[in-house]
Amino acid sequence: MEIEKPLMVVAIDFGTTYSSWACSMRHEYEDNPTKIHVRQWIGGEHLSPKAPTTVLIKPDGTTLEAFGYAAQDKYAELVEGGQHKLWYFFTRFKMKIFTTNGLSRQTMIEDITGKLLPAVTVFSRAIQVMKDDFLSQFKSKLEGRLEERDIRWVLTVPAIWNESAKQFMRQAAVTAGIRNEYLRIALEPEAASLLCSYLPMKTFTISGKHSTFQTFKKGSKYMILDAGGGTVDVTVHEVLGTGKMKELHKASGGAWGGTVVDGAFRQFLIKLVGNSIFQKFSMEHTDDLLDMLRTFEVKKREIQTKKDSTIILRIPISLLNIYKNETGKVLQESISQNEFAGKVKIINDKIKLEGTFFREFFTQAIQSITSFVRTLLQNKNLEGVKSIIMVGGFSECLILQESIISSFPEINTIIPQDAGLVVLKGAVIYGHNDDMILERVCRYTYGIAGAIPFVKGVHKDEYMEESDVGPLCNSIFVKIVEAGQHIKLHERQAERYFSLNSEDQDHYTFPVYISTSVSPTYVTDVGCSKLGSLTISGIDTSVPLKDRKVAVSMIFGGTELEVEARDVHTKEITTVILDFLQ
């Protein structure tokens, strides 16, 4: 059993593009919640508070060789020596579980060469290396002072992820050696909101027409725009006082993060040299590709909307040579005859991109984000929102900042220092105090399948089934909570009773469904899907069958769904297993 107030909290921000961990002791949190230790990673000649989310696994398919910058460097060495073909190199793989339908423990993901490994293996190795890295960094400081149960681990996930994806991350963390009872799941924009509520005003850059900045005053409402590498999460909070908050609108967003910009740049390179040449370059000179993408990442954050200066990147000589060998032409000369004439120039090993053309890489992502935010702000339930707080690594991009400021001049746009670290640090605060969000809004309608008396002409004939009490209509969506419903933290829903059917039955399993509709009729309606199953076990078989019933109550309002079941006859709490991984 975990203690109520852990002596240390360690948060792992598992990002699409970059990841890291941070921590603080209980006494540090009580003295100053923002006093948080952030890991510094070595990348080349620089220190960075985050490392690339890259994993290198040995040819056996299970053993981790390296993570982050070290994984990139080691893989580049293997490629250069022609020894990489049996190794597994994964990069920017987090979004795989967001885009995968029917996510399961057997879900496979591809490395950059198309080789497959179980997703849970790749994710757990990434979490494990950060867990072990923390323990090695703090071993001398913690030895003899802290036991395993004194540490609470926090793992961040996007707020728009469903229960299946959250359970997958929890499973990966447990596989990595973090005990289930010591782990909390934090929603990324919520974590950011918590940190921002503690930061002094001087640490924010503020743009907007309002003369006073009272974002965290009791009664104030603000939007958190968490723009990361993969997803953009948006949530809206109202301050309740005493540091508590409530969610005003269900978490929403989409896959419009910084990798969309990276994808546009990659498509430009493919058009520039041709797909086959780009793939050959990617496979044979991975180190040069990674260097080019690192440089692009820096330029991506610095580019501004109002400047027409030329953007200069280094183009690898290896790519120029492959192009010449494959086509018999010089790339510099070919550009003058294709669609990039006047927009792109190559001089020696430099590629110069006209500023307006470079900004086109951002068009899709920024239009998606601004359009979504605009629609959200028109919601009548969000009247009074006067601030947008931009957090996440992509929020450090100047062109995104300027686009939000210019698109919503009537609202304060607030950008904290080190916006890319806000989620990570906020997750540490959440680990110390996980009841600061007192009310959340359901993203989906949750329910179970049930049966009601069949009414001819009302119900579908295919769902009719005869029973001792007359014809019944099966597959009815029995609603428990509905999308958009405001639910208080750990709010217990009405109990549902289930009877067992045979003398030797000591467990009961039934499916749980979700729907994007507020009031679906059948579990097969458009927008409905099976979330997973719920199994109640440990039921006393000595109780007569007619009295053998269980009462099940679902508990919402936290970052994960909870369920409690009790044996009606013995009144004992029974074991419940939630399985959202198909």
From the list 387, 392, 382, 396, the residue with the least C-alpha distance to 414 is 387
Q: Which two tokens stand for residue 355?
A: 């500023």
Q: Is residue 429 part of a domain?
A: no
Q: How many beta carbons lie within 10 A of that of residue 431, not counting itself? A: 25
Please provide residue 318's backbone torsions phi and psi, each rounded to the nearest 5 degrees.
Answer: -60, -35
CATH of the domain at 553: 2.60.34.10
Q: Is residue 478 part of a domain?
A: yes
Domain final position from 334, 361, 388: 361
The radius of gyration computed from the CA coordinates of the chain, to the nearest angstrom, equals 26
Same domain, 449 and 558: yes
CA-based torsion, 542, 543, 549, 552: positive or negative: negative
Q: How many beta carbons lie within 10 A of that of residue 462, not counting itself? A: 10
Domain final position from 361, 376, 411: 361
Longest CA–CA span in the chain (Å) reads: 87
Domain that holds residue 575: 442-579
The residues near 520 (Cβ < 8 Å, ≥ 6 apart) are 445, 447, 477, 479, 527, 528
Q: Is residue 422 part of a domain?
A: no
Domain final position from 309, 338, 361: 361
Same domain, 354 and 448: no
Task: Say how many residues make up the chain.
Answer: 582
Q: Is residue 18 part of a domain?
A: no
Q: In what order do the strands lie in the sheet with 437-441?
A: 204-207, 412-416, 385-391, 221-227, 232-241, 244-254, 437-441, 486-488
Q: Is residue 491 part of a domain?
A: yes
Q: How many beta carbons lie within 10 A of that of residue 128, not counting itself? A: 18
Q: Is residue 107 part of a domain?
A: no
How many domains does the structure of the chain reveal? 2
Q: Across the strands, what pairs with 505?
A: none
Q: What is the pLDDT of residue 309?
A: 78
Contact predicate 46/429, CB 8 Å: no
From the list 222, 246, 218, the residue with the least C-alpha distance to 234 is 222
Please provide residue 131's backbone torsions phi and psi, each rounded to the nearest 5 degrees.
Answer: -60, -50
Same domain, 470 and 565: yes
The residues near 332 (Cβ < 8 Å, ≥ 6 apart) are 345, 346, 347
Q: What is the pLDDT of residue 211?
A: 42
Same domain, 457 and 355: no
CB-based burial of residue 218 (10 Å sphere; 0-12 exposed, 13-18 middle, 19+ buried)? exposed
pLDDT, tens digit (0-9, with 9 covering 90-100), for 488-521: 999 999 998 888 777 888 888 889 999 999 999 9
Q: Which two tokens stand for residue 397?
A: 């991009």
Q: Is residue 279 part of a domain?
A: yes
Q: Does the predicted model carry a pTM greater than 0.75? A: yes
Measure the CA–CA gap between 262 and 264, rounded to whole angstroms. 5
Same domain, 448 and 573: yes
Same domain, 355 and 449: no
Q: What is the DSSP string of 64-76?
A: EEEETHHHHHHHH
Same domain, 447 and 355: no
Question: Tokens 């995104």 label which residue?
Answer: 400
Q: How many beta carbons lie within 10 A of that of residue 464, not counting itself? A: 14
Measure the CA–CA gap between 118 and 93, rounded to whole angstroms. 12
Q: What is the pLDDT of residue 279?
A: 93
Query: Please, what are the averages of pLDDT over each run of 10 residues along the chain (582 residues)?
Result: 79 95 96 96 84 96 96 90 92 86 89 94 97 88 80 96 94 96 96 91 70 72 95 95 89 94 95 94 86 87 74 93 94 86 90 92 97 95 92 94 94 92 97 95 94 92 88 93 95 88 82 94 95 87 83 92 88 84 78
Q: Is residue 196 part of a domain?
A: no
CA-based torsion, 75, 76, 81, 85: positive or negative: positive
